Amino acid sequence: MSVQSSVILVVVLGFFGIQCQRILEIHTKTDPLDPNGMSNAGVTVSITNNEGRTCVARKLEEEGDTFLPGEIDAFHDQEIGNCSMFHVPNNELTGFQVTHEGSDGVWVLWYRILFDDGTYKTCPEGVHIDDEEVHELEASASKRLILQLTRDRGSSLTMRSLMIFLALLGLTQAARVLEIHVFTDPDSNGMDGFASLDLEIVTTDFRFCYARDMQEPGDTYLPGEIDVFHDKEIGDCLNFDVPDKIIPKIRAFHHGGDGLVVSWYRILFDDGTYILCDDHTNIDNEAIHTINCSAM
């Protein structure tokens, strides 16, 4: 292990080594270069905690299309079997196993486990899985962080070292927006393609970003489903800097005749954390909602 990654590990353990947590969701990102994703097959995920207990999310599936190339799927509640609310003391995973069933192989770039304490962890895969293959993956928040810090984007080695040093001192609390998640109320009708939803994120220093007409390939805004909007789907909110990770409010803009009840919006940051913005009210026509957000 390099000095850099040891330093990161110490920082990460500092951040994540305190509480006991439960699993809320399992996410997958299908490789954009996968020619057709996966449709007539499935992957089963088994997660082992540091007490040696294992939960099983059999054949990840949800309503609407799943495993489309380049898309992120969020599986939750009964979709992840007894992994839903599975206890993971110290967020420590000692095993993460993926089993493929069926003959339609898939490239999954990574799996992500979202906990109920405002954090998530990522397990990179990135290799093809097919037939009855079994892959053992390694879950680590630190890898994710290293990935973020060392992603080229013009940042030099000195810059990265400086960031790591500042992180060690606890001086950099700013994080960047990675994704916007929308949970459509299970008891609502969802929203069809003739209506659209924009989201504006406002920071404490009064800057804002705008995600216009949040859409993704496949079905969106189905009742009881979580949509994950990312990359160009969130406009200039991608990599938007949020000082202290505080978003005092977001504003939702509805257009069109088919109203929608969003239970909550979630803003996922690039540092292994997220915040929630509770809504639960109907938005229709040209209405604008201002919604408060809070850390978990």
Ligand X SMILES: *[C@@H]1O[C@H](CO)[C@@H](O)[C@H](O)[C@H]1NC(C)=O
Q: Give me the residues that bind ligand X (CB under 6 A), please.
A: 53-56, 82, 86, 292
User: Do 56 and 32 contact (CB within 8 A), yes or no?
Assistant: no
Nearer to ligand X, 42 or 235 (CB): 42
Nearer to ligand X, 53 or 160 (CB): 53
Strands (E), 7-53: 20-30, 42-49
Residue with tokens 């790591």: 164
Nearer to ligand X, 56 or 168 (CB): 56
Query: Smallest gap, in angstroms, from Cβ of residue 288 to ligand X?
Result: 14
Cα(95)–Cα(106) distance, integer angstroms: 21
Query: Smallest gap, in angstroms, from Cβ of residue 264 to ligand X?
Result: 12
Query: Smallest gap, in angstroms, from Cβ of residue 139 to ligand X?
Result: 17
Nearer to ligand X, 54 or 148 (CB): 54
DSSP state of 159: H
Enumerate residues 6+ apart whose C-beta is below 8 A from 8: 142, 145, 146, 149, 164, 167
| Residue of 181, 179, 185 whose CA lies nearest to 283 | 185
Query: Smallest gap, in angstroms, from Cβ of residue 1 to ligand X?
Result: 31
| Residue of 238, 249, 246 whose CA lies nearest to 273 | 246
Cα(97)–Cα(99) distance, integer angstroms: 7
Nearer to ligand X, 15 or 111 (CB): 111
Nearer to ligand X, 8 or 83 (CB): 83
Chain centre distance of CA 49: 20
